[in-house]
A and B are shown apart, each in its own frame.
Chain A
Amino acid sequence: MALLLRTLGRQSVCLSKPQYSVLYRHVAPMGSTAKEEMNKFWDKNSRLNRPMSPHVTIYKWSVPMMMSITHRGTGIGLSGAISAFAVAALVLPGSYPYYLDLIHSLSVGPFLTGLAKFGIAFPVSYHTYNGIRHLGWDMGKGFKIPEVYRTGYTVIGLSVITSIALLMI
């Protein structure tokens, strides 16, 4: 009887807050935060003038890796383009339609026009679709390797199709 009570008592203490998928109990506090640890790492290694170990130069590139850096690259590129546009709006004297007509009058030709449109449409499409993929990961979905590749190829395919479709408009 005593055994039963003790066991049940331990069991109820063990399963604290089962609705959360993480169990914490009797934790020991960390001495420093992640930020402090990272700063310590960089301070020490830059002080000792240590070279960085080769990583992206030696590791075999994979599709997920390339897609990830492309997501970052398109993000930086798009952000830069928006900032450049904003600065231009503040600095340039004429109005937007004026400058648009100016570009029109250059008679660039359909191929280059299409190329420019693709140059805008593709980063936007890719970043958007891959962004949705990221949000899926943030919800905990799609981490299995086959899923990563499947969703990855879907993003690439959709981006290309959407960009070409936007060209036609």
Chain B
Amino acid sequence: MAAIVRLSSVCRRGIKPLFYQSALLVRPLAVPHKHLEQPNLLTARIHSSQNLKASSTSKAASLHWTAERMLSVLLLAMGPVAYFNPGPVIDYSLAAALTLHGHWGLGQVLTDYVHGDAKIKMANAALFLLSTITFTGLCYFNYNDVGICKAVALLWSK
């Protein structure tokens, strides 16, 4: 009975007012979980009610973020593989992973420092060109020359 009274005092006014307290913007009310440790990110899950039409949300940015981290982990794993199993497969994989990691990384730098629609477009076009040339050059090197792994090995034997 006491529990019911306590519950009713919390829920008397309902949870709705609590949510509307923080402006009229979409803001998550983070509820800390005592028993379930969530190591993952707070993923946005918007449930719009019937009378408020939520604008369509794209998951592109969030997926891009996840892809960036997965690529980083992959690149980390490639290090030891390149050391213990050098060869053309890892050479081309490294070329791809390094170029893409650099492309996305520089993309974030541009997003941070370049402002204005025209400038952003130009900067991203230039970055795309640079990354394309980089990947081409690395593949060319892998094909016509000693390859990335061997190049590092030779450089270090200096």
Separation of A114 and B14 alpha carbons in the complex (Å): 69
B residues 97-134 near A (Cβ < 8 Å) are 98-99, 102, 105-106, 109, 115-117, 130, 133-134
Chain A residue total in the interface (Cβ 8 A): 61
Size of the chain B interface, CB-CB below 8 angstroms: 66
> A60 contacts the other chain (Cβ, under 8 Å)?
no
A150 at the interface (CB under 8 A from B): no
Q: Is the interface of A mostly helix, strand, loop or mixed?
A: helix
| A124 CB to nearest chain B CB (Å) | 9
Q: In the bound complex, how far is the Cα of B11 from the Cα of A14, in angstroms? A: 9
Q: How far is the CA of A166 from the CA of B156 in the complex (A)?
A: 9
Query: B136: CB under 8 A from chain A?
Result: yes
B4 an interface residue at 8 Å Cβ cutoff?
A: yes
CB proximity of A96 to chain B, nearest CB, Å: 5
Q: Is the beta-carbon distance between B106 and A76 smaller than 8 angstroms?
A: yes
In the bound complex, do residue B73 and residue A23 qualify as a contact, i.e. CB atoms below 8 Å apart? no
B29 within 8 A of A: yes
From A13, A23, A72, A100, contact of B154 by CB (8 A): A100
Contact between chains at A89 and B19 (CB < 8 Å):
no
> 5 A-B pairs, CB-CB below 8 angstroms?
A7-B4, A28-B26, A82-B99, A83-B134, A89-B141
Interface residues in chain B, defined as those with a beta carbon under 8 Å from any beta carbon in chain A: 4, 7-8, 11, 14-16, 19-20, 24-33, 36, 38-49, 52-55, 69, 72-73, 76, 79, 98-99, 102, 105-106, 109, 115-117, 130, 133-138, 140-141, 145-146, 151, 154-156, 158
| Besides A27-B26, A141-B39, 16 other A-B contacts (C-beta < 8 A) | A3-B4, A8-B7, A20-B43, A22-B42, A24-B47, A25-B47, A26-B19, A27-B52, A28-B52, A29-B26, A29-B55, A82-B98, A86-B133, A87-B133, A96-B151, A135-B69
